[in-house]
Amino acid sequence: MIEPQGLGFWVAFAGAVGGHERIVTRLGELGAKWIAPRAGEGASRDRNWQPKAAKEHVRRYHDAGLRVFPWLYSRPWTYRAEVALLKQLVDEGADGVIIDAETPWDRGQRATALRYMEALDKALPDVFVADAPWAYPHFHPGFPFAEFATRVNARMPQAYWSEIDNRGARYHLPRIDDDWAKFHAANPKSVRPVWPIGVTYGHEHPSRPPGAFKPDDLELFLDRYGDRPASLYSFEAAREPALSVLRSRAGLASK
């Protein structure tokens, strides 16, 4: 089984930055070791990760020394088709896959989540699988955290501090870690490595999240989780303040 190592970057809208052909040429200077490209939503493939092109993208990333873990935005009512799609992604050369399970799974889906994980385990028994759930488990008591844990190898909570409010990473990251520790204490069979996803943007982004982007927050995130394969969302949303931090750290690491 191949697992992520080092810093990863998520890509949601590859076309916004010229496609994967251009992204691959820019990741090295940022210290990236793996990439999580958007592969689709439910039963549908992303237009930038169609089968033939996906094989070429995987080859390019591998040639550049990057591992590839595509992600799929998940819905309970398409889980059977998602299993087939995730297997197809691996057959195309991906090193593993990530399930982005959010609002559609928030209530009344525990039994479906179990069926999903059972089917996925049969289809991909020896392949790395992670999910990207909510940052704070206790805020989502109906979400099937424990059910997804029956198959996933790691949790990648969306620790997007600027999307939550304006209190920043220094406030949220310790509390997110503590919330996962409490979840694991209450659900010992569900203990899995927790590799948070940080954020590269703030309220300057077109989506206008409530929090500002501050380079110190990004530095704090990278320092706090430097011992694990944490990652950042997203490559295409990163602007010069974030890119400058990443280039500087990558340069220091290479010396």
pLDDT tens digit string along 117-172? 999 999 999 999 999 999 999 999 999 999 999 999 999 999 999 999 999 999 99
At 254 the pLDDT is 54
Distance of CA 77 to the CA centre of its chain: 22
- For residue 255, the model assigns a pLDDT of 47
Q: Percent of the chain beyond pLDDT 70? A: 98
- Domain ranges in the chain are 7-253
DSSP label at residue 228: T
Given the candidates 3.20.20.80, 3.40.50.2300, 3.10.20.30, 3.20.20.60, the CATH classification of the domain at 7-253 is 3.20.20.80
What is the structure's pLDDT at 251? 84
CB atoms near residue 39 (< 10 Å)? 27
pLDDT recorded at residue 253: 60
Mutual angle of helices 168-186 and 215-224, in 10-degree steps: 30
Count the helices and strands in the chain (H runs, E runs). Answer: 9, 10
Q: What is the pLDDT of residue 110?
A: 98
Element spanning 154, H or E: strand 154-155
